[in-house]
Amino acid sequence: MGSRRKFLEKASVAAVGIPLLCYSSDLLASSSEPYDGRMLRVAIMGLGSYGNRVAKAMVDCEKAKLVGVISGTPSKIADWREKYDVPEKNCYNYENFDAIKDNPDIDAVYIITPNGLHCEQAIRVAEAGKHVICEKPMGINAAEGQKMVDACKAANVKLLIGYRMHFEPKTMEVIRMRMDGEFGQPKFFQGQSGFVIGDPTQWRLNKKLAGGGAMMDIGIYSINGARYMLGEEPIWVTAQETKTDPVKFKEGIDETIQFQMGFPSGAVANCLSTYAMNNLDRFFLNGSDGFAEMQPSTGYGPIKGRTHKGELTQPHITHQTLQMDGMAELIFEGKQPIVPVDGEEGVKDMKIIDAIFEAVKTGGKVEITI
Ligand code: NAD
């Protein structure tokens, strides 16, 4: 985990002195007035590395607040209770969290556990009548994702996936430029996502808990990025796997996959997902009239990039702070992000991952309907 955290944290800076931006229909608007609207009261499930990052970022949220925890480790609960002033009545473990349905002080549960647990946990949260925020990948295949979407619909709760880049200012600017035709016709996307994974015993290298290897964890950024940078859904994929360490990367755990995607307009994407190379975090979009290049493109920031018009200069703001305020607006004010973060968006990425794994197996071109 250390190497992953280092990769994502590399150029991270605190957003001290920068006015908090909130994600809204006019993309990013400065919030000068103190917020006195409804607060999204969130319980975090899974108090690991990323859960800690989200909790810390939420301290600066103005529309969302950490109010509860779900964990199997009593010492972590005690620690979080003290750090974040979480009342005892809002603390649960993995056996008893269905009782959250009787807790009127919690609106949503943010699931930040290993991928293989997301589906069952999301369904239980939905059945308890709480909104579900779930980390990426939403599950370990599209069938699981669809089950989650169906369960949340049946329970009449929202299902949102932790796609923090959909709230990130420089990313939003490139998407705006693409939508305004500033790149002309988008033709080509290149996405490279990777880091060298450490401890061979961690859940990320366990098929049941991770669902796959680098593709599930980090390749998904290139998949999702290809879709929001090009503004289209792929209609075919091809993919090739390379494995240099079959002991560490067992059957079903991909070390390195190169994959290609074709889009209805004729645009193509060429991507690399790997657990065997460090400092790979780069997006490149080429259109008939311009380009965008981002490196780092999906780490915790600051994101850096330039287009044919010059440097991207939007400010860095902690991604998870923007995301959670944006999700509060989405849940309570019905605001829709330009690029969705709903369950259906998550299922699209899962369908592409399923197709990539199939293409690796067959060596052929896999047609997909997203
Ligand atoms: P982690 O190992 O640091 O934390 C996982 C947590 O789940 C731990 O607190 C662990 O105790 C708990 N857990 C519950 N049941 C478990 C079980 N059976 N086995 C192992 N752990 C169990 O992992 P993480 O890095 O926090 O990742 C958690 C999720 O968050 C993953 O889905 C990952 O893809 C996602 N994530 C997203 C981002 C992002 O930028 N959006 C970044 C990192 C991780």
Any ligand 1 atom below 6 A from CB of 50:
yes
Helix, strand, coil percentages in the chain from 3-state DSSP, rounded to 5: 40, 25, 40
Q: What is the DSSP letter of 316?
A: P
CA atoms 86, 209, 4, 199: torsion sign:
positive
CA–CA distance, 2 with 49 (Å, rounded to integer): 10
Per-residue model confidence (pLDDT) at position 11:
28
Burial pattern 166-187, b for ≥16 Cβ within 10 A else e, equals bbbbbbbbbbebbeeebbeebb
CA–CA distance, 71 with 94 (Å, rounded to integer): 6
In the chain, the amino acid numbered 105 is D
Any ligand 1 atom below 6 A from CB of 113:
yes
Which pLDDT tens digit goes with each residue over 60-115?
Answer: 999 999 999 999 999 999 999 999 999 999 999 999 999 999 999 999 999 999 99
State the catalytic residues.
136, 221
**Cα 149 to ligand 1 centroid, rounded to whole Å:** 21
CA–CA distance, 355 with 139 (Å, rounded to integer): 15
Per-residue model confidence (pLDDT) at position 31:
54
Beta strands in the chain (DSSP E): 21-24, 27-30, 40-45, 64-70, 91-92, 108-111, 131-134, 159-161, 186-194, 236-242, 256-262, 268-274, 280-287, 291-294, 305-307, 310-311, 366-367
- Ligand 1 pocket test: which of 7, 71, 113, 138 has the largest number of ligand atoms within 8 Å of its C-beta? 113
Any ligand 1 atom below 6 A from CB of 114:
yes
- Ligand 1 pocket test: which of 135, 148, 222 has the largest number of ligand atoms within 8 Å of its C-beta? 135
Alpha-carbon distances of 342 from 153, 266, 321, rounded to whole Å = 11, 27, 18
**Cα 71 to ligand 1 centroid, rounded to whole Å:** 12
Per-residue model confidence (pLDDT) at position 33:
77
Instruction: Note the pTM of the prediction, 2 decimals.
Output: 0.93
Phi-psi region of 184 (alpha: psi -120 to 50; beta: other; left: phi over 0): left
Any ligand 1 atom below 6 A from CB of 224:
no
Residue in this structure with the two tokens 């409804």, named with its chain if needed:
38
Yes or no: say if 150 and 156 are a contact pair by the CB < 8 Å rule: no
Which structure tokens are listed for 185?
């016709």
Query: Low-confidence residues of the chain, pLDDT below 70?
Result: 1-32
Yes or no: say if 159 and 152 are a contact pair by the CB < 8 Å rule: yes
Helix (H/G/I), strand (E/B), else coil: 327: helix
Element at 196 (helix H, strand E)? none
What is the distance in angstroms between the CA of the first residue and the CA of the last residue of the chain? 32
Which pLDDT tens digit goes with each residue over 217-268?
Answer: 999 999 999 999 999 999 999 999 999 999 999 999 999 999 999 999 999 9
